[in-house]
Amino acid sequence: MQRTIVLCHGSREDIDEFDLAMTRDGCTYGRGFYFTNDIGLGRVYSDGGDPYVVRITYENPYVVDLDLPYEERVGSRMFRPNNGVRERLVDLGYDCVVVLQEGYVEMVVLHPEMIENEPRQDAGDSGSR
């Protein structure tokens, strides 16, 4: 079942289109496009400017729920080592990673075609969920 979510992406660069060539290995949850519902954090990555607000359509997220007790969390070994994580996730049929913690949402999108990018706009003071 397809779902959509509106999140933001902070960047100092102008982004007309998200492209895998923009990503790199070694990031916490692997190579992909990182988005958040925290507008303030998006502004940090945009050097104080407004982050990009995008609509993401996804079907099969790999969920990391940090609100669960440690012994109930699944899959932390998936991200060790960081290099090659995207390929492992894609091979297993996942299209993104969703990290949840106390209302905070971080999403790592593995395929750029999932992202509906709008020109940079005023994101307001609260995140979208």
Write down all domains in the chain, each with its CATH number in brackets: 3-117 (3.90.228.10)
Given a contact cutoff of 8 angstroms between Cβ atoms, the answer to whether 67 and 30 are in contact is no
Query: Mean pLDDT in the chain?
Result: 87
Q: Taking the model in full, what pTM does it have?
A: 0.84
Confidence of residue 79 (pLDDT cuts 50, 70, 90): confident
What's the confidence (pLDDT) of residue 82? 75
Helices (H), the chain: 39-45, 85-91
**Burial level of 105, CB count in 10 A (0-12/13-18/19+)?**
middle
Q: State yes or no: pLDDT of 2 exceeds 70.
A: yes
More confident residue, 128 or 63: 63
